[in-house]
Structure 1
């Protein structure tokens, strides 16, 4: 059997499906994009509001209180190093992306976990995926 028959059929089906999703789901994807972009912009604005040494001190204090003193010192020094190297804007942009992704993961994961805690069949479905 010629494998190109299968791949051509699959390619055509995939193109058709993605075209339909793009045409009919644009409003949903635009909404999701605007929410995520707004969250990212807000987090980035907050991170760029304070001078670099304030963010470095906050990171050092969080590292110290949540893990240990060495982690706090390393977190603070790493941020100071980024500022000294002239990479502060890029560092805050990356940190804003990480914080936004964490918020998204919490908003998706917590409700799914609650439902899985109450619905045994849903939990059995999720367990291999996790």
Structure 2
């Protein structure tokens, strides 16, 4: 008996689908590629065109004014380390890549999570899909992304978005499910419109859990940075890959610590900005 008859090979079915997509939706994929490259290139140019000390000073000043002084100190230390480690261009490329990936992940996950908290059938329907997305090894996402978008930063961002959506979506749904019912009933009793209830009651109440989801999305996106270096995305992931292939421990360690610095920076900035924006509507109300 031929054992190949009982061997399951998903690639036999998946490869023709990818070929069909490339043949029939090439203009769409090309448009997505140009859009992502344009946005990413703009962010990278904005971060790399001025001298490093100008960017650091401007970032610290803006964070101090818009967030708080503690976050400004963290910003100064993180960016100064990236500069002193000799990894400033790679760090700015990684910062731009993660910023785009996390922003798109949140824009996708947040509205779906809100809808899932309101419609239980939708939550039940997407739960198996989220389980699969979080169980599949992250580097697997790079394979179809590269097959469709070729090498470069675009497949890295696409794979990072796919990897970052599930935790944000799950925790968004959980956050809105945990909003106290008496607060919702109070808002409805006052005759407030659904939009007002969402922005003034539900979002502030759900903010602690939403911050956890955002934190997880940022950390998972940064975890993909190293894998993204394998497909030519550049940034700190490429430096880690270079240190591994050349057996240069110093380069790999510096790039790894720079990734940690970027992670701490984004975590503190996101928490500080969201907490400040939450307090502002509460004071105005």
TM bracket, shorter-chain basis: 0.7 to 0.9
Cα deviation digits, residues 74-112 of structure 1 (max 9, x gap): 431231222233321111111110111122112212332
Give me the CA root mean square deviation. 3.0
Report 1 or 2 for greater relative contact order, CA contacts < 8 Å, sequence distance ≥ 6.
Answer: 2
Structure 1 pair 48–2 and aligned structure 2 pair: CA distance change class (3 A): same
Q: Tell me, yes or no, if structure 1 residue 12 matches structure 2 residue 3.
A: no
8 Å Cα contact 1:56/1:80 also seen in 2? yes
1:52–1:88 Cα contact (<8 Å) kept: yes
Number of residues of Structure 1 aligned to a counterpart in Structure 2? 129
- Supply the distance in 2 between the matched residues of 1:97 and 1:65 (Cα, whole angstroms): 23
| Alignment correspondent of 2:43 | 43
Q: Distance in 1 between matches of 2:36 and 2:64?
A: 27
- 5+ residue gaps, structure 2, are 131-169, 171-285
Name the counterpart of 1:81: 81
Q: Deviations over 1:11-47 (max 9, x none)?
A: 4323222221221222222122122111111111221
Asked if structure 2 preserves the Cα contact closer than 8 Å seen for 1:64 and 1:73, the reply is: no
In the other structure, the counterpart of 2:26 is 26
**TM-score, scaled to structure 2:** 0.38
1:105 paired to 2:105 = yes
Gaps of at least 5 residues in structure 1 are: none
In the other structure, the counterpart of 1:115 is 115
